[in-house]
Amino acid sequence: MPLITTTSYRPPALIRNGHLQTILPSLLRRVDGIGYQRERITTPDDDFLDLDWSRNNYGKRLVILCHGLEGSTQASYMRGMVRVFNRAGWDALGINFRGCSGVPNRRLRSYHSGATEDLATVLRHIRRQSIYDTIGLIGFSLGGNLVLKYVGEQGRRLATDIRWAAAVSVPCDLKDGAIAMARPACRIYMFRFLRTLCAKARMKAPRSNGWLRPEDFSGLRTFREFDDRYTAPAHGFKDAEEYWRQCSARFFVDRIRIPTLLLNARNDPFLGPRCYPVDQARESAWLHLEMPATGGHVGFIPPRMQGAYWHENRILAFARTLASSGA
């Protein structure tokens, strides 16, 4: 039922190409007025997560944000969402995944699309403070997959303080997303991601007892190669195929039991056909899938290219609708 067939998104008149809508925000957008306060917490496996808080102290509402691949809380899409929710009276918490805060993490493992145990660690830490009675979860790209997977795998067991979730530009099928990113048209993105991913993996080689060598990361060209070489073995999966199969959000969204909004543009160059869970949304009372014709990957540039971006206002409106309805 919650398959949303109409959308309010309208791109700038001359910026309708998915690649332009993807690249321009990362190059041109600057979001000022966010003053983070950093907190470091320890994980159960003796690693750490760096959390960035933006508090208003207005009440008991908190939004938790999860960034995309090789992103951080400093990304403009993270800061833009923080600003929109701060102005609406919410506290905001941005999670820097392991190794993404500017400081290498301690363990051989890092972060990945299905590492919901780290999100669970953050939520346990927040609940010990006994401040918030309303929590919303927002994820972008990889972080969106993680949020959808977490909410789905928890299902009816999800804590009642988590009232809603939202995800933007999500490769819900990790294999299909990897195939899409291996296309020649996405070579520039792949080069950028693999450059930093491989650099981090090389730094971890001394902790691997010999099974990981710096030279293993020379010449890698695809996510399949990187996930086979590092992501899968470092996180307990047999290979990339098993990692993708066990961590893709599309295998969990039918178990979601809170209002959840997924915004995936149809011209997103990072997504393949199976990244749009249309059938699951049609059959779900909880998953609201909206697929604007344009928007790119975490793009959704406003018509005048100023102010809040469309997806930020759309998610805030979603949260407000639920509050007014008592959901």
> Catalytic residue among 118, 268, 284, 311, which?
268
> Catalytic residue among 141, 169, 248, 284, which?
141
Residue 25 in 3-state DSSP?
Answer: helix
Q: Which of 87, 89, 108 is nearest to 98 (CA)?
A: 108
Backbone phi, psi, residue 58, to 5°: -80, -25
The amino acid present at 77, given as its one-letter code, is: Y
**Which residue is associated with the tokens 């917490």?**
41
Longest dimension (CA), the chain: 57
227 is catalytic: no
Task: Please give the Cα distance from 269 to 241 (Å, whole number).
Answer: 21
The bridge status of strand 48-54 relative to strand 37-42 is antiparallel
CA angle centred on 166, ends 18 and 34, rounded to 5°:
85
Q: Which token pair is 267?
A: 């011209």
288 is catalytic: no
Task: Please give the Cα distance from 256 to 150 (Å, whole number).
Answer: 9
Task: Please give the Cα distance from 106 to 142 (Å, whole number).
Answer: 22
141 is catalytic: yes
> Catalytic residue among 112, 235, 297, 311, which?
297
**Which residue is associated with the tokens 């809170």?**
258
| Sheet of 3-4, strand order | 3-4, 287-290, 260-263, 162-168, 134-140, 61-66, 91-96, 48-54, 37-42
CA angle centred on 319, ends 317 and 325, rounded to 5°:
100
Catalytically annotated residues:
141, 268, 297
